[in-house]
Structure 1
Amino acid sequence: MGLSKVGTQMSRMTGLRSLMEDVASAMATTTGTRWLNLSIGNPAAIPEVTTMWREAAGWAVADSFSDAVAYGASRGAPALVNAIADYFRRHLGWNIGPENIVVGPGSQMLCFAAAALFAGEDGSGARRIGLPAIPDYTGYQGICMVPGGIAGAESGWRVGADRSFHYELDLDATARRTDLGMLLVSSPCNPTGRSLRTDEQDALIAIAERMDIPLFLDHAYGRPFPQIGPTFAPPVLHPHVVNCFSLSKAGMPGERVGFAIGPERYITPMVSFLSNSVLHASGLAQAMAARALSSGALDEVVASAIKPFYAERRTLTEKLLLDAMPADVNWRLHANEGGMFGWLWVDEDWFSDVDLYADLKKRGVFIAPGRSFFSGPLESGTHSTQCFRITLTVDEKDLREGIGRIGEVIGAASPHRVGSRPPLSL
């Protein structure tokens, strides 16, 4: 029996997913190797954050266990939906009610629901998912159920006088398209950490408004939680904007709780999609989230633990890279604007992200090759094959050792050591 067209599309192995399978297989079958996994997307295990969620879990079990484990509303548990509405009224002044909110098993599931609802075939032809800030989250590549359903606009860049660089969006490329059903962008971005500026966010909203399509803004790393890094454009309430939020990077990735806030005309179909597919998110996890939001505990750990941790870890990572990376190789680190990753570009014709992955694997280190975060055809020796991502969330000892080995492997791979290079500063 063969798969349907949708089955074929959804069963394919995306680039980063195949890498994760390789990482899991190697770590499970190899003995005597101390693996340094700098490819992972888990948030750091910050003690204060762990304690906060443990206390919220204890409260949920003791206070509302029976209700939490029963079947619930597909929109989300009323206690959490009301806590979300109250939180955003108090903190951002948003006049929203339950009709503007949907809770799902992770924000990626909500993006998948949106892709199924707003992209694909309709009476006017194929409507694609517009990704205006490529490179962007690799998970977006797998949410479209039709081949060729992703329309990415690759960013340009500007380089600093130091070892930094910064992506610049090609908004005109997105504006010229006539086949889009929705726009989707993460800010801060996974993998680069780039944050939308207010003028860029406004421009994307104007494009969505002109095309009469929704703009989905994924705030998984941004405001109001977990606020990993300095973000520029705050979440905005607008008739063409759906804001997606997640508790994963705020310390609860495995429980899969995310929510979206937006106009009723977009939220109501998403509620129906969840009802027809997964029913609803985990009841216990929703009870924990409601407690953390309504008590102020989440805001407290964001300010006192999460933000300081990642600020310090980013500073450490920059120092480690400057010490470890070869001075005669033209490498750059994307400017720090948020997120929990380091995004590196080795601007050398001989460099390949997948070759680096293979060489580092032999040294017991895993990184994420950058090509999985781009869309469209790949060509060797171009920017989309010269980048890679490392996480900042592993133990400091592993981070130090891992970056040291990365520098050694890249230095050993360089076929020449001549030419003018940027100075050693960030």
Structure 2
Amino acid sequence: MDYSNFGTKFTQPNGIIQLMEDLGDAKNSNNPNIVMLGGGNPALVPEVNDIFINELQKLVANNTLSNVFGLYDGPTGNDAFRAALAKQLKSEYSWDLTANNIALGNGSQANFFVLFNLLAGSMPDGSHKKVLFPLAPEYVGYADQGLTDDMFVAIKPDIEILNTESGSNQFKYIINFKAVEQVLASDSSISALCVSRPTNPTGNVITDEEVQHLDLLAKQYNIPLIIDNAYGDPFPGCIYTDANLTWNSNIILCMSLSKLGLPGLRTGIVVANNDIIKAIGRVNGSMVLSPNSFGPSLVTRLINEDELLPLCKNSVLPFYREKAQTAMNLFDEIFAHLPVYLHKVEGAFFMWLWFKEAKITSEQLYQKLKEQDVYIIPGHNFFIGIDDAWAHKHQCIRINYATDASTLRKGLEAIKAVMA
């Protein structure tokens, strides 16, 4: 069958599809020996899960579940949820916004597809616009979101080796602002900046000063700054360092209910100026009529009764902080005295390992581990927009540590054995 350009682009094999297919096959195999350290699935936090079940039971008891299942919301999403979230964000951060500054979509992935293609790609005047990632590596799910090719540009980071009290081999990626400014000054095709905070895959949390610098650059060049806040404050709040959330009419802030523990309900949130929100609503209306209302309906009461943020602070954050500490302790134990570096764990729930003297690539490591039923994600997939032969791209892997300690230990020891 002959496909259109769209069909050809989105049906061809790529890194993320192959990885997700492998993860799906592993999940469905019912093999009890599988060590699943790939993928981005959050853990099941018992206290949080119990509260969501309780909220579902309340929807049933109040006879409102039929409204959730049986009625369309508007194309920008559930009005009650949008109003509740706007009120909370205004109260928590003193932002000048209303429900008209919030749109919903069927997951963050769908929202980024809309945003990237609204702002970049083929333009009416015949030009071609691009999205700039000021810090690589970045979220692998961005890679194939563009309707046109060559839609993303990325800046290689500065790499800072850290001195830690424990003597652990750690490093941190830093934004190379000189390089960012050079690209913005020389390339008029840049139509948006995009950064995740905390960053998937590394757990990096760029500083408040870095966010302010990016915001000033975006305003200087009259382009929006997109901040992917899927793991950040106010929910789920998986940040283990000092960081403040910021928003203004030039920032497009993207949030999610997935990392709260509701990934299957596919609820992505965009906070932006009215023009962007209206545009998202019109695209939603054409593509899906109306976003999923189940996730928003499940958490609206929690927001209105000021229960969601305490839940994040008292249950979600401590849960993942403990997981992070376990991951760091296991890294220090298993990779002690080896030329293996861990990116400083500042947020989210990922370990990013750099095998500085690796003799095989991360893709080769991935294939060898898969033969042992151990699943990680090779790092080169995350360096979107960097097309040269930079060796560092092939020396890193991402691990999801939102699992039990014994599984994580087994996986890390398998990695060490292959890399020895």
Would you call these one fold, judging by a TM-score over 0.5? yes
Map of 2:224 onto structure 1: 214
Counterpart amino acid of residue 37 in structure 2:
L
Name the CA distance, whole Å, in 2 between partners of 1:158 and 1:213. Answer: 29
Find the counterpart in structure 2 of residue 282 from structure 1.
292
| Structure 2 gap segments, 5+ residues each | none
Partner of 2:331: 321
Moved more, 282-291 or 20-29: 20-29
Query: TM-score w.r.t. structure 2 length?
Result: 0.92
Partner residue of 1:170? 176
What is the TM-score when the length of structure 1 is the normalising length? 0.91
Q: Verify the 8 A CA contact 1:136 1:191 in the aligned structure 2.
A: yes
In 1, the alpha carbon distance for the partners of 2:363 and 2:217 equals 36
CA contact (8 A) 1:379 1:385 kept: no
Q: Structure 1 residue runs of 4+, over 3 Å off?
A: 26-29
Amino acid at match of 2:357: E
- Shift of residue 2 of structure 1? 1.9
The residue type paired with residue 5 of structure 1 is N
Q: CA deviation at 1:297?
A: 2.8
What is the deviation of 1:344?
A: 0.4
Counterpart-to-counterpart distance in 2, 1:207 and 1:319 = 39
Q: Say if 2:341 is the partner of 1:332.
A: yes
Tell me the amino acid that sits aligned with residue 151 of structure 1.
Answer: V
Q: Deviations over 1:197-230 (max 9, x none)?
A: 1121111112211222211111111111111122
User: Which among 237, 256, 259 is matched to residue 249 of structure 1?
Assistant: 259
89-98 vs 386-395, which moves further: 89-98
Residues in 1 aligned to 2:402 and 2:94: alpha-carbon distance in whole angstroms: 33
- Contact 1:53–1:288 under 8 Å retained in 2: yes
Change (3 A) 1:3 1:52: same
1:152 to 151, 154, 169: 154
Gaps of 5+ in 1: 412-426
Residues 227 and 251 of structure 2 are in contact (CA less than 8 Å); yes or no, is this contact kept in structure 1? yes
Judge conservation of contact 2:233–2:239 (CA < 8 Å) in 1: no
Aligned to 1:347: 356
Report the secondary structure of 1:404's partner residue. Answer: helix
CA distance in 2, matches of 1:289, 1:275: 23
CA contact (8 A) 1:119 1:128 kept: yes
CA distance in 1, matches of 2:388, 2:57: 49
In the TM superposition, what is the alpha-carbon distance from 1:88 to its structure 2 partner?
0.7
CA RMSD, 1 decimal = 1.8
Counterpart selection for 2:141 from 132, 139, 142:
139
Q: d(CA) in 2 for partners of 1:383 and 1:296? A: 45
Q: Which residue is equivalent to 2:59?
A: 60
Please tell me whether the aligned partners of residues 326 and 410 of structure 1 are also in contact (alpha carbons under 8 angstroms). no
Q: Which residue number in structure 2 is paired with residue 115 of structure 1? A: 116
Per-residue CA deviations over 1:288-341 (Å, capped at 9, x if unaligned) read: 1212322233222211211111111111111112222263x3110001211100
Residue aligned with 1:159, SS:
strand
- Deviation of 1:384 (Å): 0.3
Give, as a single letter, the amino acid of the residue that structure 1 aligns with 2:247.
L
Number of matched pairs:
408
Cα distance in 1 for partners of 2:126, 2:242 equals 37
**For 1:167-212, what per-residue CA distance to the aligned partner results, in whole angstroms no more than 9, with x for missing partners?**
0112233332321122211100000011121121111112211222
The alignment status of 1:374 with 2:383, answered yes or no, reads: yes
Counting only pairs closer than 5 Å after superposition, residues 44-83 of structure 1 correspond to structure 2 as 44-63=43-62, 64-69=64-69, 70-83=71-84
Matched, 1:89 2:95: no
Greater shift after overlay, 32-41 or 58-67?
58-67
Give how far 1:281 is off.
2.0
For 1:32 and 1:193, the matched residues in 2 are separated by 29
CA distance in 1, matches of 2:59, 2:95: 27
Summarize the Cα distance change of 1:264–1:145 in structure 2 as closer, same or farther, 3 Å threshold. Answer: same
For residue 128 of structure 1, the aligned residue among 127, 130, 145 is 130
Matched, 1:195 2:205: yes
Q: Sequence identity, in percent?
A: 29
C-alpha distance in 1 between matches for 2:31 and 2:75: 47
Q: 1:26 to 1:290 in 2, by over 3 A?
A: closer
Classify the secondary structure of the residue corresponding to 1:134: coil
